[in-house]
Amino acid sequence: MNQKHSTTDLEATSNGIKKARGHVSQNEGLIFEKSVTGKRGVEFPPLDVPAVDAAKELGAEFAREGIEGFPEVSEIEVIRHFTRLSTWNYAIDLGMYPLGSCTMKYNPRVNEFVARLDGLATEHPSQPDAVSQGCLRIMHDLEKCLLEITGMDAASLEPVAGAQGELTGLLLIRAYLESKGSARRKVLIPDSAHGTNPASVVIAGYEVENIKSNERGQIDIAHFRQFVTEDVAALMITNPSTLGVYEENIAEIAAILHERGALLYMDGANMNALAGVTRPGDFGVDVMHLNLHKTFSTPHGGGGPGAGPVLIKKILGPFLPVPVVREQNGKFALDFNRPQSIGRVRAYCGNFGVLLRALAYTLAYGPGIRQATEDAVLNANYIRKHLEDFYDLPYNLPSMHEVVFSDARQKKHGVNTMDIAKRLIDYGFHPYTTAFPLIVPGALMIEPTESESKEECDLFIDAMRAIAAEAETNPELVKTAPHATRVGRLDEVAAARKPILRWKPRQHLDATPHKVVTTVVPTA
């Protein structure tokens, strides 16, 4: 009892790491490498109509023999395959995921449950409105909630991602300005913006004009005024900015734009800092989008799906994409008859399954959504306070929901933000966002969200402080991290020079077959 184990190598590299330790990780090849002819993972009820001979029915022109290379595996093998794969991922369900600008918060389980209900998951988007009242009411209710939270007048729930929301918003601006006589030529974008902003501007047929942030990371009003010419259609701004700082002159910026007939677009990626505290509609925003997969907790699922509803002021209403949900005497209908509409940006009604989850999230909080915002800002400031003596703070302005440090101090020891991020993995955390925003060289962008307890924040602070110390005393340890993962840093250069983007039978024929080596450990 209570025997002291001898220290292994693994423990030596993880000394002082409180949140995580090593663990057996199952090996697993590609599903195609496990395939054996004749196996299957699903069976069907017998056909209840006469079977047709496919080859005869389709004829030589169309009939296919079988899909070359498709896997043949049993149900248990599929279960093990994907379960093993899943254990190689980090996730919010495992711990803090402080990716700045991504708002990785808890994804409530009840949302998953209700999204799968018979009568919701099963509904066909082309079915008559008479048998879709439940779906339409969900969309209507969500719309009402989002309008209340943002202070805007009307919405389209059709865009299925933030970037598509941006494009939709810009097309609305374009249609509105065209109706006033001229679409104008340019859209202004601060240099701290997300990459999707300029990419969306181009698809909307506008030119991008970048405006430099001042030394405080904010838009310089005097400088900005000169930019707003007759050619400018809109300013696209993220507020709080990607530095996590509230744009203090936002109302004045809106006034300058409006004075010259231009509009203010707000990228709502950082709405998690504002919900329940202030409303974009009140401070002059004309068009904005929300990322429901950020602020409204719908799961990121390894990269998607999302939803990017667009919210607008009344003046843009006639141009909304079709269809829009309309209520009349307690009955709901999809309205397609909108002659001034910009058209469709996606088939059907958008990512209904994501919209539904976002409504479930909003209902769970109600007006209490303000508390979530406060906790998110509290966590970011708490972490900032405890790390500002250890990491360089390039813009010393009050932080909201996220804080952006730089690697300036650690660089002196040859350690950069990516190295620190990789070392954080050994400490049991997902890295923060590296190398963004572009206006901060070597950025460490940390967004804890409201979902983290004080205990988890403290563990994170400890880890970051320990890494700052390692950067000075043992930089090599940090530069070669991570040390505790299944694979080390991967050769991304080789991957890009000679891309292997799919499995092919021949290419792997000579590779050493995957052998499971079982070591028998004698019992003591």
Partner 1 sequence: MYPSDFRYTKDHEWLQVSGTVGTIGITDYAQHALGDVVFVELPKVGAKLKAGEVLGTVESVKAVSEVFSPVGGEVTEVNSELANTPEKINQDPHRSAWLVKIKMDNPQDAAKLMDAKAYQEYVAEKEKEQTA
Partner 2 sequence: MRYLPKSQSERREMLHAIGVKSIEGLFETIPAKYRLRDALRLPGPLSEMEIIDYFKARAAENSRGYTSFLGAGVYQHVRSVVTDALVQRGEFLTSYTPYQAEISQGTLQAIFEFQTLMSQLTGQEVANASMYDGSTALTESVLMAERLTRRHRVLVARTVHPEYRQVLATYAKHLGIEIEEFGFAASGQIDAASVRADSWKEAAAIVVQSPNFFGVLESLGPIAETAHQHGALLIDCITEPLALGIVKPPEEADIVALEAQSFGVPPSYGGPYVGVIATRDKFVRQMPGRLAGETTDAAGRRGFCLTLATREQHIRREKATSNICTNEALYALVVTIHLCLLGKEGVRELAAQNLSKAHFARDVMKQIPGVTLPFTGKTFNEFVVEFPRPVKQVNEKLLADKIIGPLALDKCYPGQEKRGLMCVTEVTPRAEIERLAAAVKNILQSEN
Contact residues toward partner 1 (CB under 8 A) are 435, 492-493, 496-497
Shortest separation between residue 502's beta carbon and partner 1, angstroms: 19
445 binds, among partner 2, partner 1, none (CB under 5 to 8 A by kind): none
Shortest separation between residue 498's beta carbon and partner 1, angstroms: 9
Are residues 451 and 92 in contact, defined by beta-carbon separation less than 8 angstroms? yes
Residues of 380-397 as b/e, b for ≥16 C-beta within 10 angstroms?
Answer: bbbbbebbeebbebbbeb
Beta carbons within 8 Å of 224's beta carbon, 6+ residues apart: 211, 253, 256
Quick count: other Cβ atoms within 10 Å of Cβ 420? 27
Quick count: other Cβ atoms within 10 Å of Cβ 418? 17
Q: Enter the tokens of residue 428.
A: 């049991």
467 binds, among partner 2, partner 1, none (CB under 5 to 8 A by kind): none
Are residues 234 and 225 in contact, defined by beta-carbon separation less than 8 angstroms? no
Closest CA to 271 of 380, 94, 181, 150: 150
In the sheet that 443-446 helps form, which strands lie side by side, from edge to edge?
403-406, 443-446, 433-434
68 versus 492: smaller Cβ distance to partner 1: 492
Are residues 223 and 214 in contact, defined by beta-carbon separation less than 8 angstroms? yes
Alpha-carbon torsion 249, 238, 372, 352, what sign? positive
161 exposed, middle or buried (CB, 10 Å; 0-12, 13-18, 19+)? buried
Are residues 423 and 61 in contact, defined by beta-carbon separation less than 8 angstroms? no
Are residues 208 and 202 in contact, defined by beta-carbon separation less than 8 angstroms? yes
268 versus 350: smaller Cβ distance to partner 2: 350
Shortest separation between residue 496's beta carbon and partner 1, angstroms: 4
Shortest separation between residue 481's beta carbon and partner 1, angstroms: 19
Shortest separation between residue 329's beta carbon and partner 2, angstroms: 15
497 versus 506: smaller Cβ distance to partner 1: 497
350 binds, among partner 1, partner 2, none (CB under 5 to 8 A by kind): partner 2
223 binds, among partner 2, partner 1, none (CB under 5 to 8 A by kind): none
38 versus 522: smaller Cβ distance to partner 2: 38
235 binds, among partner 2, partner 1, none (CB under 5 to 8 A by kind): none
Residue 83 — φ and ψ, nearest 5°? Answer: -65, -45
51 versus 509: smaller Cβ distance to partner 2: 51
398 binds, among partner 1, partner 2, none (CB under 5 to 8 A by kind): partner 2
Closest CA to 514 of 31, 39, 25: 31
Tokens 């804890």 — which residue?
448
Q: Torsion angle of alpha carbons 469, 474, 478, 484, nearest 10°?
A: -100
Shortest separation between residue 208's beta carbon and partner 1, angstroms: 16
Shortest separation between residue 494's beta carbon and partner 1, angstroms: 9
393 binds, among partner 2, partner 1, none (CB under 5 to 8 A by kind): none
61 versus 491: smaller Cβ distance to partner 1: 491
Are residues 410 and 420 in contact, defined by beta-carbon separation less than 8 angstroms? yes
Shortest separation between residue 372's beta carbon and partner 1, angstroms: 34
Helix axes 454-473, 417-426, angle to 10 degrees: 120
493 versus 524: smaller Cβ distance to partner 1: 493
344 binds, among partner 1, partner 2, none (CB under 5 to 8 A by kind): partner 2
Shortest separation between residue 55's beta carbon and partner 2, angstroms: 8
57 versus 492: smaller Cβ distance to partner 1: 492
366 versus 412: smaller Cβ distance to partner 2: 366
Cα 440 from Cα 195, distance rounded (Å): 15
Are residues 466 and 16 in contact, defined by beta-carbon separation less than 8 angstroms? yes
471 binds, among partner 1, partner 2, none (CB under 5 to 8 A by kind): none
347 binds, among partner 1, partner 2, none (CB under 5 to 8 A by kind): partner 2
Shortest separation between residue 215's beta carbon and partner 2, angstroms: 17
497 versus 502: smaller Cβ distance to partner 1: 497
Closest CA to 384 of 369, 406, 399: 399
342 binds, among partner 1, partner 2, none (CB under 5 to 8 A by kind): partner 2
Shortest separation between residue 112's beta carbon and partner 2, angstroms: 6
305 binds, among partner 2, partner 1, none (CB under 5 to 8 A by kind): partner 2
Half-sphere exposure in the Cβ direction for 464 (13 Å, CA) = 27
412 versus 489: smaller Cβ distance to partner 2: 489
497 versus 515: smaller Cβ distance to partner 1: 497
Shortest separation between residue 222's beta carbon and partner 2, angstroms: 19
Cα 102 from Cα 72, distance rounded (Å): 38
